[in-house]
Structure 1
Amino acid sequence: MSHARVRQAIETKLAAWSAARQIRVAYSNQPFTPNPSETYLRAFQLPASTTCRYLGGDAYEYTGVYQISIVCPSAQAMATAETLVEELTQLFRVDTPLARNGFDGLITEPVDQGPTITESATYTVPASFTYAGVADQPPAGA
């Protein structure tokens, strides 16, 4: 499952960056309770279909979108989220290598900011980028 490996490569990079900035990240499969006045990130992987263009199925191609939503208290200035989008744009630049346990890939499209989603207590600014890569398949029965 190389979508898992690309997710791990991205999340390792994101975790190091967020720890340095002291901003928490809510990953899709981990419990997370935000503080009422906290700005935090929500991370999601949206994998696309796996393909194989090679005879014998020696390597599979994996593509997808990784989304990082910036969640801010509603009273916080939009500039906070916009600054974080800019920082994520620098962190996940086009052609940034993504490698993990036999998966070799790249970020293929730049970080793109989506529309702001407003709620009563928070607003969310989604930012996403695409990735693509190749991984050798393990031998049958492994």
Structure 2
Amino acid sequence: MSHARARQAIEIKLMAWATARPIRVANFEEGFEAESGEIYLRAYLLPASTTCRYLGGDAYEYTGVYQISIVCPAGQALGIAESLVDELSSLFRVDTELSRSGFEGLITEPVEQGPTITESASYTVPTSFTYRGIADQSPVGA
């Protein structure tokens, strides 16, 4: 499934950026426990419907939204999260190529900041962008 390949292409780029900062990224593949006072990211793939616009069904088109939520401890200045939004906007610019194991795609919409979600011990600033790509569906050996 090429949504998985799109996710992998995005996460490789995100993890390289996060490791250089350093900032941790929570995902479903491993356990995660936030440390006291830690700023971290939560990342999600929200796939949309798969389409086939080609005669013979040789390639499928995959689109979706990738969300990166910035989680900060309560009392932390909002400006810190907003600077991370700016950095993510630079990292995932429109027309950034996404390529992974036969999936070829692009980021099609800019990073957009959603409303801040407040809780007693933390607040979350969600960001998201859309991707679109094509993967060849021809049988192996064809």
Residue identity matched to 2:11 = E
Residue identity matched to 1:122 = S
Number of the residue aligned with 2:69: 69
> Structure 1 residue 37: deviation in Å?
0.6
Residue identity matched to 2:48 = A
Residues 25-58 of structure 1, C-alpha deviations (whole Å, 9 max, x = no match): 0013321110121000000000000000111110
Q: Distance in 1 between matches of 2:57 and 2:29?
A: 31
Residues 90-111 of structure 1, C-alpha deviations (whole Å, 9 max, x = no match): 0000000000011000000000
How many residue pairs get aligned? The number is 140
> Structure 1 residue 78: deviation in Å?
0.2
Number of the residue aligned with 2:52: 52
Residue identity matched to 2:135 = A
Number of the residue aligned with 1:82: 82
SS in 2 for 1:68: strand
Number of the residue aligned with 1:20: 20
SS in 1 for 2:111: strand
Q: Distance in 2 between matches of 1:96 and 1:63?
A: 14
CA contact (8 A) 2:97 2:104 kept: yes
- Structure 1's unaligned 5+ residue stretches are none
CA contact (8 A) 1:113 1:126 kept: yes
- Structure 2's unaligned 5+ residue stretches are none
> Structure 1 residue 122: deviation in Å?
0.1
Q: Distance in 2 between matches of 1:68 and 1:20?
A: 17
Q: Distance in 2 between matches of 1:127 and 1:20?
A: 20
CA contact (8 A) 1:28 1:42 kept: no
> Structure 1 residue 138: deviation in Å?
4.5
CA contact (8 A) 2:59 2:138 kept: no
Q: Distance in 1 between matches of 2:10 and 2:84?
A: 17
Q: Distance in 1 between matches of 2:69 and 2:10?
A: 14
Aligned identity (percent) is 72
What's the TM-score, normalizing by structure 2? 0.96
CA contact (8 A) 2:69 2:127 kept: yes
What's the TM-score, normalizing by structure 1? 0.96
